[in-house]
Structure 1
């Protein structure tokens, strides 16, 4: 099996051709993504040409519906393979539905992707009976926060310094039983230059250098709370992303993708 590696603002993925890839199980995926005993990545993408679609797996072998950085890396891969051209938009199948994508530049490779429309229905996030309106997890009542679905579950917390949050603190929120499927957690502050600083703890991965849906969720939450209007720039540990919303509330994420290289691996099944 041939694996090709890409990264978007440091959020890295192994991509395999779905037409040539044997069936691999979650344990094998986790082994391939292991940074010490495998090739190392935040996730693995099974890429398919006909129809254009991506199947995304987290670093720990669990499935993920949507990933903005992963989608950009898929678009880059599809362009390199000649599956798509740079002169028109395309629709890509993901675990959370179809997404439109546009290539902005090929050198360096930059593209814009639909990250999804925020879904504020609390039932997507929790089984707990709650009042209507924006979901605030009760155990986070002392913090400015909200939770909603954007391809995957996100909880956005505004804090004075995202860098001081420990992995244990983030994990406690992300795996709290209040959330029926767990949640990605985005720690956010507004910088003096008007950018949003975002640090994301992802389900199935942990801390990441960037999270595309997390950048979008953070920007949407900042606009809701009147902290920062859209469109805006989001500064992740791995680089800069740009977020805006279309009239239908679809989040549009723009950022780079870099091809790293490829490797051949034998998967025993």
Structure 2
């Protein structure tokens, strides 16, 4: 769900955006969405993203593709390549196809320090850990910052595992001071991953762009896939590539499903 800040400013203050996000994203009394995006144009083009629970997230991979599509359709961004300001840094957008709309985003480089992930682990550049669950079992996790905080869990039984329950428990585990997105990954082959994501502030989601990037990054670091891989999601596919300089690129579609007014 995307709104121009210039239109919002006539009716609502920025401090009220979190409450507005909750109301607009409500599936029963609002439009129903995982998040709300505010298009800020002054002093620079910026994507301001809120989860459906009203919390602000630094970045959203799916959101920035929708943001780019909206800006192209509304004439806000007339070039096919431009920069978008986010809390996770400036993201470079490149429109690769106008109809059907596809866009490639330079998502920047991953971060691996404990400070970036907001955990108490010390002295490690790459966080591969065993996490003890409520039932006493240990699960291997891989955590990093890729646009936002992500944890990657490799599984062979995505179909039979209770992903929503596991995702909620890992997301809210006390080791993560600011919670974490949780990506459950099945390696299909060396060029293909299947991913299901539990998002902090949202719950289970149909797709997560930053999560797809995080999943390919960790899989590549562990030799499970190459530097370029397709990520299969519930409603489609994203193409993720890791450049020699460490920057991660995400390419995928955006589809407009409705325009409307919220009262």
The reply on whether 1:263 has 2:260 as its aligned counterpart is: yes
SS in 1 for 2:75: coil
Give yes or no for contact 1:137–1:178 (8 Å, CA) kept in 2. Answer: no
Of 5, 12, 19, which residue of structure 1 is paired with 2:6?
19
The reply on whether 1:120 has 2:112 as its aligned counterpart is: yes
Instruction: Output the CA distance in 2 between the equivalents of 1:192 and 1:208.
Output: 23
SS in 1 for 2:258: strand
Q: Which runs of 5+ in 2 are unaligned?
A: none
Residue 144 of structure 1, CA deviation: 4.1
SS in 1 for 2:128: coil
Give yes or no for contact 1:187–1:200 (8 Å, CA) kept in 2. Answer: yes
Of 134, 146, 151, which residue of structure 1 is paired with 2:126?
134
CA deviations on 1:14-52 (whole Å, 9 max, x unpaired) are 101111102234233111101122110010000123421
Return closer, same or farther for 1:263/1:249 CA change in 2, 3 Å cut-off. same
The residue aligned with 1:5 is none
Residue 109 of structure 1, CA deviation: 0.2
Q: Which runs of 5+ in 1 are unaligned?
A: 1-13
Residue 145 of structure 1, CA deviation: 2.9
The residue aligned with 1:148 is 144
Give yes or no for contact 2:93–2:104 (8 Å, CA) kept in 1. Answer: yes
1:184-199 mapped onto 2 (5 Å cutoff): 184-192=181-189, 194-199=191-196
The reply on whether 1:203 has 2:195 as its aligned counterpart is: no
Give yes or no for contact 2:62–2:208 (8 Å, CA) kept in 1. Answer: yes
Instruction: Output the CA distance in 2 between the equivalents of 1:193 and 1:151.
Output: 24
SS in 2 for 1:27: helix
Give yes or no for contact 1:232–1:242 (8 Å, CA) kept in 2. Answer: yes
Aligned length in residues: 252
Residue 197 of structure 1, CA deviation: 0.3
The reply on whether 1:64 has 2:57 as its aligned counterpart is: yes
- Tell me the TM-score normalized by structure 2: 0.90
Instruction: Output the CA distance in 2 between the equivalents of 1:193 and 1:165.
Output: 25
Instruction: Output the CA distance in 1 between the equivalents of 2:158 and 2:51.
Output: 23
Residue 230 of structure 1, CA deviation: 1.2
Residue 178 of structure 1, CA deviation: 0.3
The residue aligned with 1:158 is 154
Instruction: Output the CA distance in 2 between the equivalents of 1:188 and 1:247.
Output: 24
The residue aligned with 1:111 is 103
Instruction: Output the CA distance in 1 between the equivalents of 2:66 and 2:119.
Output: 34
CA deviations on 1:148-203 (whole Å, 9 max, x unpaired) are 11111000000012232331221110011101110000000111584100000000
Residue 135 of structure 1, CA deviation: 0.9
SS in 2 for 1:74: helix
Instruction: Output the CA distance in 2 between the equivalents of 1:19 and 1:246.
Output: 37
Instruction: Output the CA distance in 1 between the equivalents of 2:157 and 2:254.
Output: 27
- Tell me the TM-score normalized by structure 1: 0.88
Give yes or no for contact 1:56–1:95 (8 Å, CA) kept in 2. Answer: no
RMSD: 1.7
Of 160, 168, 171, which residue of structure 2 is paired with 1:171?
168
Instruction: Give the structure, 1 or 2, with the largest relative contact order (CA under 8 Å, sep 6 or more).
Output: 1
Give yes or no for contact 1:233–1:240 (8 Å, CA) kept in 2. Answer: yes
Residue 246 of structure 1, CA deviation: 2.3
Instruction: Output the CA distance in 1 between the equivalents of 2:62 and 2:119.
Output: 29
Instruction: Output the CA distance in 2 between the equivalents of 1:129 and 1:91.
Output: 34
